[in-house]
């Protein structure tokens, strides 16, 4: 069995490859070629934390079988610890033999960014030039990387965060990735949203991050941070105004506070979801239908993403000689 560290995964799978793998996997999910049960979540209220257990199986031409375990402890940021710890275990889909254990912390950020990349590829306006990210934690850089991978003409980035220090560090990391456009930092969202073509929200906020009226027509949003019913990043009124896509319907209605709260307010119902991301890439539902539409991709995460990226990472690691062999 092989162990792949975060560095191994990063070397094996660049963002562009992750986006393509996740797009293919969501297409398989929509075609019924994947078995992804609703994930199990265990809360740790004393630390405002949640641990998720996410099994899954991919069929088709790229079979995979595995389990992801991820713990999200937001208060770790105050102790200078990562807020997310995760492992992915892969098994041989033909025999059940354990194949690999992967550090899932980086993989989680990579596959989450990749899903936003897929959504942005299909929903954002081709002429998008300004990207705004809310949050400066572990998920923020992959969100930026993914959007820039599919909309390389973007030359203006805003980072909106409560503290400037973390935003400044994120800006330096993005600059280190080779981004040569403008990078600006704000604690108030008003000016960034006046310019935004694409918005990524990557926070653990329990309340909406901005007023609905600040988002201008034609904007695309990727909302990936609110993963419990009691959390929300997007105002209910904006959810109601948007053309809405999700990673998986039943998971979104069970876990996405942005949608659950908008429904509780009587602003949307189940029919408001236009389609799943896999239906979008398969062409069974239409994406953006007008330049002035507001499009919203709401993601709570799906094991199909983890399986796709983990399987690709293992394949590439075997080819490149990455990782450490472990005898069971």
For 299-324, the pLDDT digits (tens) are 999 999 999 999 999 999 999 999 99
Mean pLDDT for 54-81 is 92
Residue 328 confidence (pLDDT) above 90: no
CB 186 within 8 A of CB 159: yes
Give the C-alpha separation, 1 to 126, whole Å: 44
Average pLDDT over residues 215-240: 96
pLDDT for 29 equals: 95
pLDDT-wise least confident of 22-31, 69-78, 257-266, 293-302 = 69-78
What does the domain layout of the chain look like in residue ranges? 2-108+304-325, 116-302
Kindly provide the residue ranges of all beta strands, DSSP E only, lying in 34-146, ordered along the sequence: 34-35, 40-44, 49-58, 64-72, 84-91, 98-103, 130-134
Q: Can you give the pLDDT at residue 161? A: 98
Mean of all residue pLDDT scores within the chain: 96
Q: Which residue has the tokens 């319907």?
A: 249
Examine the pLDDT at 82 and tell me if it is beyond 90.
no
* pTM beyond 0.85: yes
Write down the pLDDT at residue 14: 97
Residue 111 near residue 18, CB atoms below 8 Å: yes
Q: What angle do CA 324, 318, 68 make, to 5 degrees?
A: 70
Write out pLDDT tens, residues 253-271. Answer: 999 999 999 999 999 999 9
Helix (H, G, I), strand (E, B) or coil at 107: helix
CATH code of the domain made up of 116-302: 3.40.50.720
For the segment(s) 2-108+304-325, the CATH number from 3.40.50.10320, 3.40.50.150, 3.30.1780.10, 3.50.50.60 is 3.30.1780.10
Residues 245 and 223 sit within 8 Å (Cβ to Cβ)? no
Tokens of 41: 């979540």
Quickly state the pLDDT bin for 297 (edges 50, 70, 90): very high
Q: Is 258 helix (H, G, I), strand (E, B) or coil?
A: helix
- 78-to-8, 30, 47, 106 alpha-carbon distances in Å: 28, 40, 12, 20
Q: pLDDT band at residue 243, thresholds of 50, 70 and 90?
A: very high
Task: Tell me what pLDDT residue 262 has.
Answer: 97
Per-residue pLDDT at 280 exceeds 90: yes
Give the percent of the chain with pLDDT over 90: 90
CA distance 211 to 218: 16
pLDDT, tens only, 129-186 = 999 999 999 899 999 999 999 999 999 999 999 999 999 999 999 999 999 999 999 9
């Amino acid at each position: 069995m092989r162990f792949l560290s975060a560095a191994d995964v990063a070397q094996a799978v660049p963002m562009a490859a992750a986006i393509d793998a996740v797009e293919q996997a969501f297409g398989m999910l929509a075609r019924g070629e994947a078995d992804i049960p609703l994930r199990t979540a265990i809360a740790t209220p004393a630390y405002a934390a949640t641990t998720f257990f996410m099994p899954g199986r991919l069929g088709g031409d790229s079979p995979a079988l595995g389990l992801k375990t991820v713990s999200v402890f937001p208060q770790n940021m105050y102790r200078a610890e990562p807020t997310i710890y995760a492992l992915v275990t892969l098994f041989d889909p033909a025999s059940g033999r354990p194949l690999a254990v992967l550090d899932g912390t980086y993989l989680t950020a990579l596959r989450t960014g990749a899903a936003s990349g897929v959504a942005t590829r299909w929903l954002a306006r081709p002429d998008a030039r300004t990207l705004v990210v809310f949050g400066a934690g572990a998920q923020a850089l992959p969100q930026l990387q993914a959007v820039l991978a599919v909309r390389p003409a973007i030359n203006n980035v805003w980072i909106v965060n409560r503290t400037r220090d973390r935003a400044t560090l994120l800006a330096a990391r993005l600059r280190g990735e080779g981004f040569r456009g403008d990078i600006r930092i704000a604690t108030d969202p008003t000016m960034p949203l006046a310019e935004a073509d694409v918005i990524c929200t990557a926070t653990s906020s329990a309340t909406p991050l901005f007023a609905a009226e600040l988002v201008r027509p034609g904007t695309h949003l990727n909302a990936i941070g609110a993963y419990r019913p009691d959390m929300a990043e997007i105002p209910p009124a904006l959810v109601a105004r948007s053309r809405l896509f999700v990673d998986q319907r039943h998971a979104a209605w069970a876990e996405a506070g942005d949608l659950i709260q908008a429904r509780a307010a009587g602003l949307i119902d189940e029919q408001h979801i236009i389609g799943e991301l896999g239906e979008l890439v398969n062409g069974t539902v239409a994406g953006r239908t007008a330049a002035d539409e507001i499009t919203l991709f709401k993601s709570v995460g799906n094991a199909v993403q983890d399986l796709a990226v983990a399987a690709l990472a293992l394949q590439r690691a075997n080819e490149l000689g990455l990782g450490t062999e472990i005898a069971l």
